[in-house]
Structure formats: structure tokens, C-alpha cells
Chains A and B, each alone.
Chain A
Amino acid sequence: MLRDLRRALSRERVRYGAADRTLFAHDASVFEGGLSGPICFPESTAEVQDIMRIAMQHERSVVPRGAGTGLTGGAIPLGAPIVVAMTKMDTILEVDIANGVAWVEPGVVNLDLTRSLSELGFNFAPDPSSQQVCTIGGNVANNAGGPHCLAYGVTDAHVLAIEVVLSSGDVVTLGSVRGESLGLDLRGAFVGSEGTLGIATKIAVRLSKNPPAVRTLLLSFSSMRDAAQTVSDVVAAGIVPAAMEVMDREITNAVENYVGAGYPRDAAAVLLAEVEGLEGGVEIDSQRIVEVAQSNNAKSIHRAESEAERALLWKGRKTAFGAIAQIKPDYYLHDSVVPRSKLADVLESIYEIGARHDLMVMNVFHAGDGNLHPILLYDGRIAGELERVHAAGAEIVRACLAVGGVLSGEHGIGVEKQPYMEEQFSSDDLDHQERLRRSFDPMCRVNPGKVLPEGHSCADIQALRSIPTGVWG
């Protein structure tokens, strides 16, 4: 089988050394149970087809992978599958302004795409915090969001068509760059499927026009409740800003240590709000946001005065997770979404749950979407800390679900949030999700053991996890 793979690709693009297998057993999540088989670096659709066919011949699974920045273990190989690293397929194939579309390979880095479009006056709207490193293929797999998805929608709304290698080895194109075609939206089903329905080899993304005017407001508050209320009131007032992001005091200080962007260190919460559009409307909306903030006791109101200041503020916001290691070596992150009007209450519960479990909790989140990112800090070297983190995490998830929230807004389920799926969905619901999965991949050969919880998943997760090292000989 290794021989087959190496014949199809090349010796140096099929790795099976201990070092590579260790590295590809992980992504950016804390999950430790991965076990990688050979790692392939295809350079073309045809090579991905070859890999898929060889895998099926040998009754092996495959796991696609982008930059490995996923936070829920979606790219972690279970049961020593072939890892298909898409990082070498990183060409922007065509930028077609007349059709408002760009065709890219899945390994293209999100920010690289937006940068290459900027000269033409366009961007790729989804801007996850990891956008400087994450790939478009990974964005498709996770239906990635980002701060600016409040106004423009998540990845799904910006992907027109996807060339996919199915588990059969066949290549199909889901969706189309032509006008709305009716019929089953297999493209929509594929986006956000966490690499379980097939391997994307080309993606047509929609180009968005750069806004003529942008206004960035940095608002600070003496209480988290005031900040959360401001967010809710802004939307209730009929304003949809491009982004509304909140950070609490602790995370703001960690971020400020790194970027020095001028975030106020003494506020209980800071709100970064951005309005985009035409000059007149932007002025009106930002003024109204200021008024809403004032009526919610804003402590300070500041407008970014230059593009450089704006960029620095965003750099701070987007590197927030990484900055956490200044405080504790490990963190565990949730991604629940709650109704906007419940934000203030849920945040209070989250801090209370953290305190009860003697854990430091920080919050940095896409407030406009109600998408929370409670971060539980811990030191994995201290016995018992991780257990407390899991216990607190479970309580936080339940608190979010109890107010009508969902498990994940943009990070996906992966392996880490699988157990909670049964708290959001009935077994019938999950059974239908599995039918969707099997419509594409009847044998569950692509990224097995993800998303659906045990008992529902195509594959037996325990069996996948217990495959001994050295199974590949």
C-alpha cells in the first residue's frame, strides 16, 4: 500500500516516518488520541483520486487536512488512516472578475487570497482569526466564520462551487458559478461537513467588493453586562455592523501585552465595532452605535484614526487565543452560540461556573452573532486540572443550550464536542444527519469517527481509537 501510494505520488511526498506521524496526529486542539497512517502531499486532483482509490482498495480511511489550525480535532486521524495534507495544492487558479469568482486550490491560505484580490478592489469575506494561516479548504470543511461574518455571512455564503473527490474516487462538481440553479444543494451540504463527505480539490469562491468606507470603534465598559447589552441594542435598533467583537479585561491585557494597540487595560469589557459601506450610511450607523453605547454607560469611546491603528486593533483581536499562553500553558475553548439577548445572562453564568471550579475563565467573542468563545485556562501538568476543565466546560455548554443556543458557531464538532451532540439533537435528528453523510460516503471512509457521537457514527469510534501503533507495519 505504501508502495502503491509512492508510485502514484512520489517517494518524498508520501511520508511514514515517526516524526511526521507524530506531527500529523495533532492539530491546534488539545485532543491527544490521534494516530496517523502514511501522510500524502498530493499536487493535483488526479493524485487525490489515486490516493482515494488506493485507500479503498486496501480498505483504509482517509483524512483531509489543511493547515491544522482546527480547534476541535476535526483533522485528527483516528485509526491510522491516510492523512491527505492539502498544503501543496496552494495555487490561486483563476480570478474571474467578470463572473465575480475566484477558483482556488484548497491549500491556498485565506489571507493570501484576500491580499491577492485587494489590488482589484475585492476580498474573500470570511475572516477567521486564524486567517493568516488557515486554508480555504479548511474554511470550507468547517464553514469558517470570523468577525466580519456578522454582516456578510459565513463561508457557506461565499462558496459557489466545489470540485470534490468522492470516496469512490470519482470527481464531481458541487454547485455552480452560474446563476442560482435549483435542486439539491449538495454544495451547501458539503460546506461545514468537516472533511467527512469527500476531499475538495478546487473551490470557487465569491468575490466581495471592498467597502468604500470603514469606521472602527473601540468602546469600553465598566461591566460585561453593559457591553453585551450594547450589542443586543445595536441589532435591535436595526443596525447590522460588519463586526462586533467583545473581549474581557483579562484577555484584553494579554492581547495588549503582545500588540500594544491601545486597548484600555482597566475596562471590564471592550467592544470593537466596525461599520462598513458607503460614507454617508457608515457615518450615520457609527454615530448611532455611539449613542447606544452611551446609553449603556460606555466608559470610553474611541474611533480608530488610521488604517494602521485599525490594523493593529484587529491584529490584537485575531491573535487573542495564541496570547493566552502568556498566562497559562493550556487552554480549552468552547464555541457556543446563544441568542444575542441572552448574552449578558449566559456570560454571568460562565464566570460563575469558572469560579466554582476554581478555574480562570476568559471571554473573547463574536458578540454580534452571539457566538461565545469561553476559554478555560489550565496547566495540563497539574494533576486534576484538565478534569475540572471538562466538568466546567460541560456546564457551560449546558447553560448555552438551555437558553436555545447551539454547540458550535464556527469551529465545528470534530472529536471534542461529539459527546455534546446528544444534548442538542435527538437520536432521530442525528440519524438523519448520518443519512446525509452516507449519501456521499456510504462506507464512511472519509474522516471516520467525527461529528456524530458514538452509536450514530458510521464508524465505531472506540474501535478507531484503539488501533495499535504499528498497524501499518
Chain B
Amino acid sequence: MTRAELAPTDPVLHSFAAELGDRGLVSIAGRGTRWSAGGEIAPGVQILRAPTGIVEVSPAEMTVRVRAGTLVADLNDALAEVGQRSALPERGGTVGGAIAVGEDHLDVLGRGRVRDSVLQVRYVSAEGKIISAGGAVVKNVSGFNLPKLITGSLGTLGAIAEVVLRTNPKPSMSQWLVSCDADPQLSFNTLYRPSCVLWDGSRTWVHLEGHAVDVAAEFDGLRHVGKFEPADSPPELPAHRWALTPRDAASMTSVEGGDFVASIGVGTLWADRPQAATPIDAALNVVHQRAKSLFDPTGRLNPGRAV
């Protein structure tokens, strides 16, 4: 095998690479659901869109190959047809956008982290080349883990074109429960593997997924914790995500200036105002800056935006 043969053959990816080229300021837009993350794009930047389409769904491999411009909703519909699902959150955006932001699904405990589900990523580099990173199988430690670096990089290191994601079987049953008198941490501790436990200062929600018999057993186990009743859906989440230790999230009773919802066992908290910023460590910032200058020496990818 020669090296030339290793480059992806999909013409759609090549035309995306050609469009992006190797000069000029560019940014890739999805549906703009997190457009302001990392700062506003500088004026005068050419806005491109990533290619769309689901290339291959392989339920027996628990993988799917999908182009970055595809809507997460469309991906999830296609997966549902074969009894599978992904770890990506559905909030109206694209696959590429979800990965560039790297935000987890509310059910991260059940679905896994977005970062862990990206098996392979093909992106267009600042030099306009298609780079393949990772591999299309569920387990891989061949070489440096570029998919991890790209996921959550807000498009500042490369323009995501196509990914292979790990999928999982869709559980046969899904049930949200809510209680007004249950301790959130105790609820979490009582359950074996809940998909999500939420707490808003007075109510506790629990999302149980799996075999019907297991969901029933977990429900039953919660009787000693509080009075739980079936709920149609999780609560509305305030706009701003905070990162806390799981302990702090569980012991939160109020957030100044509004409502909050905390994810127990995870440490994510949603509030009406942003979390106070913590300054980035200077030595760590050196690594960030070096990565940016090595991957995008001319600063043409998403100028104005920083991770």
C-alpha cells in the first residue's frame, strides 16, 4: 500500500477541502446553536458549511460514518431505525457543530461522553489538506489521539468534515421520574446506572433506561428514598452551563439570581447566569497557544474565537 492510497476517496470531502483552500480567513457554520462559544467571529471571515449525509450505518459494529454538516436529529433518526443511538446532544444543530463544541448529552451517564464516542475524524487542515485521525473501529490506540484534540476545539485547529462515531443499542425502555421529597445524592447512590439524575433545589428527576424489568427494579428501589412519580420529560434547563464538582452540584440549594438544575454524579449545572470565569493556568496556556500555532500557523481558522 502506498501513502497516496490512504487518503480518503470521497469526492465530497475533496470538494470541501478545495472550498476551504489554504488561504483566507474561514469559519464553518453549523446551525449556530452555540455560535458565540469561544467569542465572536472576526468580521470579514468567509463562512462555509460542512458536507452533509450519512455515509454508512453499521449496527453490528456499533459505528456510524457521517458527514459533519448532517443534523444530529437526522443522524439519530437513521440510527433509531436500526435500534441504535449516539452520544450527541440534540439541540437543533449539526454533527460537526456538536463535536466542535464537545458538549455532552443530558444522559451522559447512559450514553457516554461525546469525546469518547468520536472514533475517527476527518478534518481539513489550515493548509487545505484532508487529515484522517483515529480509526473506524471501537478500540484504537494507534498513534496520537487527534480526535480528542479536535473534539471541543471549536473549529480552531481544523474544519471537521466527517466522523465515525461509536453508537450503542437503544434501550428497550426509557422512563423519567420526578420526586419532591427525595435527596438527589441518595437517589443517585441508590441506583446502579441511571442515565441522568437532576436536582433543582427542591425536586429530583431520575432517568432510567434499559430492560423493562431493570427499570422497574430501579424504580422499586427508589421507594426508600422518596416518592417518585413518572414524568414526561426532564425539566427546562437554564441557559448557562457551569462545571462544579459532583459533590458541590449535589449540595447546591440556590443560585443567586435565578433557577438552576444540577446533574448529580456529573457536576454540570445549568443556571440563568454564566459561571464566574476561572483564569487559565499560564503553563497550560502555553500548550494551548503552541497547539494553535502549530495547527493553524496563519490564524485563518475561526479568527476571533479561542478555546
Contacts and interface: CB of A to CB of B under 8 A. Distances in A.
B102 A185 contact: yes
Q: Which of A239, A433, A439 has the most CB of B within 10 A?
A: A439
A182 B152 contact: yes
Given A154-B139, A180-B268, A184-B307, A432 B295 contact: yes
A429 B120 CA distance: 12
Nearest to B34: A182
Interface in A103-159: 142-143, 145, 149, 153-154, 156-157
B116 interface: yes
B60 A232 contact: yes
Given A168-B283, A339-B61, A432-B146, A278 B133 contact: no
Nearest to B135: A406
Interface stretch (A29-37, A80-88, A420-428): A420-428
B176 interface: no
Interface of B: 1, 3-4, 6-7, 37, 58-62, 83, 101-104, 108, 112-113, 115-116, 125, 129-133, 135-146, 148-149, 151-153, 158, 168-170, 185, 192-193, 210-211, 213-214, 216-218, 241-247, 249-250, 263, 265-269, 281, 283-284, 286-288, 290-291, 294-295, 307
A185 B152 contact: yes
A143 B144 CA distance: 11
A425 B267 contact: no
Nearest to B251: A98
A211 B214 CA distance: 13
A430 B267 contact: no
Contact of B142 (A174, A407, A438): A407
A216 to B, nearest CB: 18
A192 interface: yes
Given A425-B143, A436-B146, A406 B103 contact: no
A410 B141 CA distance: 6
B144 A239 contact: no
A197 B266 CA distance: 28
B109 to A, nearest CB: 10
A341 interface: yes
A178 B244 contact: yes
A340 B136 contact: no
A182 B135 contact: no
A409 B140 contact: yes
B7 A280 contact: no
B141 A409 contact: yes
A371 to B, nearest CB: 5
Contact of B145 (A100, A174, A192, A212): A192
Interface stretch (A310-318, A355-363, A397-405): A397-405
Contact of B113 (A157, A183, A426, A436): A157
B263 A179 contact: yes
A413 B283 contact: no
Contact of A189 (B37, B145, B192): B145
B266 A179 contact: yes
A386 B170 CA distance: 47
Contacts of B4: 426
B3 A189 contact: no
A337 B140 contact: yes
Q: Which of B135, B140, B294 has the most CB of A within 10 A?
A: B140
A424 B135 contact: yes
A180 B151 CA distance: 13
Contacts of B242: 179
Contacts of A404: 136-137
